């Protein structure tokens, strides 16, 4: 099972959107071998959530050859953008099973606010999908659950991070896929890998980290996460995790 995880595209008609990077990244994803079974987009597909941007984004995203699933980010919910999101991309939250994985996409955005929130009223619904599931459990959301290094001062962890973290760890969720900070990162907490995708095509990059996306390969008991540097067309292995033997190698800190 291969998932490509992209985030923070920030598609707009202004310079904040690096169209050439988008096209280069899209081409790289479309020519991956093996091809991804799924592309997960963890939000901030637009810059201001406007109609023009949603139209542009729809058009651009249609260029991916694999199946794409998307949840909104804080930028997508701006200016009533959350209404347009449903119109253009479907439900704000979803549960989808592909091969042996079960992906629960959550909406952590709040209209016109940058901070994220899941909400206790949704915990029951979330746990229903996790509790007795035989699938390899994956949660995707825009905001991050744990602080991310190299991304500036921390201020936007979801404000009920403790509640969601507890659900994740208690139900042995294998992977949490996040965005928002515009840098790639992966760290293991207990039996869960927390993975951030960098920005795919925004000019708002951090230092020399540039634009990137993550390739996640899931075998029966092993998960590996590779960051793909779009500018240099270079892959960098971040994490290898053997869930059965509990062997975890975080190459992010070895290079
Ligand atoms: Fe963003
Ligand atoms: Fe964001």
Q: What is the pLDDT of residues 74-112, one digit of tens each?
A: 999 999 999 999 999 999 999 999 999 999 999 999 999
Distance from the alpha carbon of residue 8 to the mean position of ligand 1, in angstroms? 4
pLDDT at position 154? 82
Predicted TM-score (pTM) of the model is: 0.97
**Class (C level, CATH) for 2-253:** alpha beta
Segments making up each domain of the chain, as ranges: 2-253
Please tell me the distance between residue 132's alpha carbon and the centre of ligand 1 in angstroms. 34
The torsion angle over the Cα atoms of residues 20, 227, 193 and 147, rounded to 10 degrees, is -60
Query: Is 75 in contact with 38 (CB distance < 8 Å)?
Result: no
Ligand closest to CA 115:
2
The proportion of the chain whose per-residue pLDDT surpasses 70, expressed as a percent, equals 100
Q: How far is the CA of 179 from the centre of ligand 2 (A)?
A: 7
Rounded to the nearest 10°, the torsion over CA 191, 188, 222, 8 is: 120
For residue 182, the CA-to-ligand 1 centroid distance in Å is 6
Which alpha helices (H) appear in the chain, and where do they start and end? 19-30, 51-61, 81-89, 123-130, 161-170
Ligand index nearest the alpha carbon of residue 73: 2
Contact 243, 174 (CB under 8 A): yes
């Amino acid at each position: 099972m291969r998932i490509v995880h992209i985030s923070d595209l920030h598609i707009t008609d202004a310079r904040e959107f690096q169209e050439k990077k988008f096209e280069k990244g899209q081409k790289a994803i479309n020519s991956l071998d093996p091809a991804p079974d799924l592309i997960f987009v963890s939000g901030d597909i637009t810059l201001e959530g406007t109609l023009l941007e949603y139209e542009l984004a729809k058009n651009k995203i249609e260029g991916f050859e694999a199946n794409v699933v998307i949840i909104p980010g804080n930028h997508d919910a701006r200016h009533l953008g959350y209404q347009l999101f449903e119109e253009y991309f479907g439900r704000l939250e979803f549960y989808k099973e592909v091969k042996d994985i079960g992906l629960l996409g959550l909406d952590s955005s709040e209209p016109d606010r940058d901070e994220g929130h899941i909400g206790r009223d949704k915990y029951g619904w979330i746990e229903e999908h996790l509790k007795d599931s035989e699938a390899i459990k994956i949660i995707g959301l825009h905001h991050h659950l744990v602080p991310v290094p190299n991304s500036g001062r921390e201020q936007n962890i979801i404000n009920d991070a403790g509640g969601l973290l507890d659900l994740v760890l208690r139900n042995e969720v294998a992977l949490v896929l996040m965005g928002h900070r515009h840098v790639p990162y992966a760290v293991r907490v207990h039996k869960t890998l927390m993975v951030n995708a960098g920005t795919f095509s925004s000019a708002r990059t951090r230092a020399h980290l540039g634009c990137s996306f993550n390739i996640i390969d899931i075998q029966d008991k092993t998960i590996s996460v590779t960051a793909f540097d779009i500018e240099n067309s270079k892959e960098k292995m971040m994490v290898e995790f053997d869930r059965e033997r509990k062997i975890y190698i975080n190459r992010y800190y070895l290079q």
